[in-house]
Amino acid sequence: MSCANCGKEIGNKAVICVYCGYDTINSSASDKKHCRGAGVAVFFGYTDAHGFYSGLINSALATLLLCILGWLLIIDFIGLLFPALLALRRVAFALNEAKYPVA
């Protein structure tokens, strides 16, 4: 039998590969977990949800908090920008009225 990780020949009843340390018993379960973690990362990567799934709780919490803070700042920026754009539109409209009065 050959190791699924490094490809070197190992014994048929080997529990781990002596060359790379790959776990041959739990390899399919581990691979499935990595596939699920990758799927979570594709859809929720910006929030680091795959960090929660893989057990990196502190890193995932920090990334999630920074993500929420970023979204709040973007929303706040748009909230500040929108009234300014409305005020500019009113000024432009008033200048246009003064230049071309309606009879």
pLDDT digits (tens, 9 = 90+) for 35-85: 666 666 666 666 777 777 777 888 888 888 888 898 888 888 888 888 888
Backbone φ and ψ of 16, nearest 5°: -130, 155
What pLDDT does residue 52 have? 73
Higher pLDDT, 69 or 27: 69
In angstroms, the Cα distances linking 86 to 36, 40, 75, 93 are: 47, 41, 17, 10
pLDDT band at 33 (very low <50, low <70, confident <90, very high): low
Is pTM beyond 0.85? Reply is no
- 91 pLDDT exceeds 70? yes
What pLDDT does residue 103 have? 62
- The ranges assigned to domains in the chain are 27-99
What pLDDT does residue 36 have? 65
User: Is the distance from CB of 1 to CB of 11 less than 8 angstroms?
Assistant: yes
Give the mean pLDDT of the chain.
78
How far is the C-alpha of 10 from the C-alpha of 7, rounded, in Å?
9
AA identity, residue 76: D
**Whole-number percent of the chain with pLDDT over 90:** 1
